[in-house]
Amino acid sequence: MIRYFWIWFVILFSSCIDEIQVNLPEASEQQKVVEGYVERDQNNYIFWGQVSLTQDATGTFHPEPIGANMTVLYDGDIQIPITEGVVMKIPIQEFHDRFGGSTDAPTFRMMAELNGDRYISAEQTIIDVPKADSLSVQVEVRPELTASENIVNNEYVKLLVHSPILNDNDQLVSLSWQVSSTFEFVEGTRSSPTYQVKTCYSTYNVYQNDINIVGIQDYPGKNRISNFEIAETPNDFRFSIGLYFTVIQKSLNQDAIEFWKEVKASNERTGNIYDVFPGRIRTNFTNESNPSEIVNGFFQASDVDTIRLKVNPQMVGYPRQRCELWMEPIIISPDDPDPCLNCLKLANSTLTRPRYWK
């Protein structure tokens, strides 16, 4: 899920231009971050929320929840308690049997109660997400300077999405994407004939902090997008046998797309002096007990759809396997981190093949 991007919002800025200073005194103290979401996939409503703190003016983030009572408000005032910092799922049919209403534009708010204060979000409506048409990959070669000041050509794999931005209700919908990948890895050949070489599947989430968004106002007169880049990664051994990209496409309303645009501009530091400063990113939470309190974070409600693409080696130029030229060491330590000895040393790896793998 998309989280914690607000960590950059409260960085204290100091200008490198003589005699110009920018002071954000409120950023020097810890501030509360209230955040959460409601998502609806093909089977479930998914709920998550928490309250945490920023730290001083460094932008450092403590992701641990700080003990708030979290509640989702459905259809005005129906209260659904959730456990802070824990994802909760309720099957769609069960949800509407218990709480009424229908899947047609349900509305939600989030409430957090902490130390006598009540933080409540603006109401958010779930808009049906358009289903993506397809995913594709493209290999790009870029000359880059090494630490020894030599120029080398490095290859990157770009993941592209092709999707309508018009849903089945003829509504134009802004979109965001969450990307992960899982690759197949085979250990190196051993000298012992009794050793069973393992095959692992490792999930690679380097893209989790990327902000991939499309606002409908950025595509006037259009009802679809093509070749929109949502991830980039080096073309290496992870593609040598097989890799699946898993993409979760989410609908965003106007409040949410404006929030994520501000976050992205803040993180990239590519805006001009008229752009919103970190610490000024909009929020849709208010402390009812103290409306003047500066609160960070956002609550959003999205419809989501999942699409996958299997990338075979021939699609990206047959990169070399990690253990292809590997030689077994004379002395093998059980603590050796080399995945060619034990592929379970890879981060987030398992011997269980994902059910979608073909």
Per residue in 239-290, pLDDT (tens digit) is 999 999 999 999 999 999 999 998 888 877 644 444 444 545 779 999 998 9
Chain segment 172-220, per-residue pLDDT in tens = 999 999 999 999 999 999 999 999 999 999 998 767 678 999 999 999 9
Give the tens place of pLDDT for each residue, 15-59.
343 343 434 444 456 789 999 999 999 999 999 999 998 754 334
Given this model, what pLDDT does residue 268 score? 72
Tens digits of residue pLDDT in 298-323? 999 999 999 999 999 999 999 999 99
Residue 56, pLDDT score: 41
Which residues lie across from 89 on neighbouring strands?
46
Of residues 348 and 17, more confidently modeled: 348
Give the Cα separation of 285 and 42 in Å (integer). Answer: 28
Sign of CA dihedral 249, 255, 257, 263: negative
Mean pLDDT, all residues of the chain: 88
By the 8 A CB rule, do 210 and 228 touch? no
Instruction: Encode 34-49: b = buried (16+ Cβ within 10 Å), e = exposed.
Output: bbbbbbbbeebbbbbb
Q: Which residues contact 60 (CB under 8 A, 6 or more apart)?
A: 7, 54
Quote the pTM value.
0.84
Exposed (0-12), middle (13-18) or buried (19+): which is 110, by Cβ within 10 Å? buried
CA distance 197 to 201: 14
Per-residue pLDDT band for 69 (boundaries 50, 70, 90) equals: very high
Chain-centroid distance, C-alpha 157: 19
The DSSP output letter for 35 is E
**Which string of DSSP letters, residue by residue, matches 38-82?**
EEE-SSEEEEEEEEEEEETTTTEEE-S----EEEEEETTTEEEEE
